[in-house]
Amino acid sequence: MSLANLKVKYLHDLNPKGPLTPRCYTLTHSDFTGKLFLSIGIEFDKKAISGFYTKIMRDEVLAEWLNDENDYSIHVYCHVSGGIIIGRAGWRDSIFRREMPLVLKAICQGDKDLFISNPDLVNSPIIVHFQSSNKKYKKVEIWGTPNDYL
């Protein structure tokens, strides 16, 4: 998969330049075509993640801007394990980690007009939540700033 195959869709009449909150990202992909699909809206794109295949694969990535102690940050969520999903936690964790730089590039470059209009946001921390029922894989990590992926 590559950013050349990224398709961006704005939902809820959201302006590409703002507002910052609420601003949610839903990133999905097609295993068949290699295309990446990024929805940007005031809430997550439930339609994009409601299909049967998506529900058992749980390989979508969700993200949102949050205001943490008077500073903005992007929180990214990926589902490593728990519930009915395909794949063991270790395998899924390794895939999410391997693909995370591409995921973050897709989000940051897909919403580049936001950063052009709000240049201070390029230094906001990106906090990735690896969600898992297994404590070994349940982690919260800082993965740089949007500036690292633009």
Write the pLDDT tens digit of every residue in 56-108.
566 789 999 999 878 999 999 998 876 666 678 888 899 999 999 999 999 99
Residues 111-116 have a mean pLDDT of 96
What is the spatial distance between Cα 114 and Cα 57, in angstroms, rounded to a whole number? 30
What is the spatial distance between Cα 9 and Cα 144, in angstroms, rounded to a whole number? 25
CB 113 within 8 A of CB 16: yes
pLDDT band at 112 (very low <50, low <70, confident <90, very high): very high
**Strand ranges of the sheet holding 71-79, from the earlier edge strand across to the other edge:** 6-10, 36-41, 24-29, 61-68, 71-79, 126-131, 139-142
**Can you point out the beta strands (E) in 51-124?**
61-68, 71-79
Q: Average pLDDT of the chain?
A: 89
Give, in order, the Cα–Cα distances in Å from 23 to each of 5, 26, 149: 23, 10, 18
- pLDDT for residue 53 is more than 60: no
- pLDDT for residue 135 is more than 90: yes
Domain spans, the chain: 3-148
pLDDT computed for residue 80 by the predictor: 82
Burial zone of 111 (CB within 10 Å; 0-12 exposed, 13-18 middle, 19+ buried):
buried
pLDDT computed for residue 18 by the predictor: 86
Residues 21-38 have a mean pLDDT of 90
pLDDT computed for residue 107 by the predictor: 98
pLDDT computed for residue 83 by the predictor: 61
Residues 15-44 have a mean pLDDT of 91
Structure tokens that stand for 63 in this block: 């993200």
pTM of the model: 0.90
